[in-house]
């Protein structure tokens, strides 16, 4: 089994090295990540393609989140990494115009002792329809949600969403409204 590395960054977001993925999460090291969120307008309503993370994920299993997310490999561009993970997680091979709209930074500690301390690039794409073939080790479900339904559910049941999803959604909706 190969060692999966993440890119560790300093407090300014400058890469300063690499670390094995699980070790970086055990130590709470700040590292690069990306979150992809595919959206569409359907009958005048803004919708987002969300995934329910596989229950067996190393953290946040069974929670709803953005379309896909992961970490770029050392020397891998964010857009290339995003395309790779759309295929690996969801089997999405539909050509998409992915756009990196900037970063969000967050730190979330989990009950299993792991910490996500990420400089997370938010990557978006508009697509009316995408075909997907879920990798069961990555995602349980993938569904279109109306923005209004996400907002209502976040108020009523915030614990069903991943720790970073609210930031990714806010960054995306702010970008789309400008």
> Active-site residue 142, yes or no?
no
- Return the CATH number of the domain spanning residue range 5-177: 3.90.79.10
Please state the domain extents for the chain: 5-177
**Res 9: pLDDT:** 98
Burial of 28-56, coded b for 16+ CB within 10 Å and e otherwise, reads ebbbbbbbbbbbbeeeeebbbbbbbbbee
Strand partners, 66: none
The tens digit of pLDDT for each residue in 69-106 reads 999 999 999 999 999 999 999 999 999 999 999 999 99
Q: Please list, in sequence order, all residues whose beta carbon lies within 8 angstroms of the beta carbon of residue 105, skipping any fewer than 6 positions away.
A: 30, 118, 119, 120
Out of 118, 140, 143, 157, the active site residue is 118
Q: Which residue ranges are tagged as binding site?
A: 25, 31, 71, 89, 116, 118
> Active-site residue 69, yes or no?
yes
The pTM score is 0.95
| Residue 93: φ, ψ to 5° | -115, 0
pLDDT at 171 over 70: yes
Out of 3, 4, 68, 69, the active site residue is 69
Q: Which residue ranges are tagged as binding site for Mg(2+)?
A: 89
């Amino acid at each position: 089994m190969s060692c999966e590395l993440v890119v560790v960054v300093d407090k300014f977001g400058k890469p300063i090295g690499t670390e094995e993925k699980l070790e970086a999460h055990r130590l709470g090291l700040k590292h690069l990540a990306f979150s992809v969120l595919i959206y569409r307008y359907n009958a005048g309503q803004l919708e987002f393609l969300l995934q329910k993370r596989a229950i067996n994920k190393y953290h946040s299993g069974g929670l709803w989140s953005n379309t896909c997310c992961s970490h770029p490999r050392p020397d891998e561009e964010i857009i290339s990494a995003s395309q790779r993970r759309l295929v690996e997680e969801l089997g999405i091979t539909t050509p998409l115009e992915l756009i990196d709209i900037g970063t969000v930074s967050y730190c979330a500690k989990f009950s299993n002792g792991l910490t996500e301390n990420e400089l997370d690039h938010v990557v978006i794409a508009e697509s009316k329809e995408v075909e997907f073939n879920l990798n069961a080790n990555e995602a349980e479900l993938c569904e279109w949600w109306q923005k209004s339904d996400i907002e209502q559910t976040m108020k009523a049941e915030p614990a069903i969403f991943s720790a970073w999803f609210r930031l990714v959604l806010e960054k995306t909706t702010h970008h789309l409204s400008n």
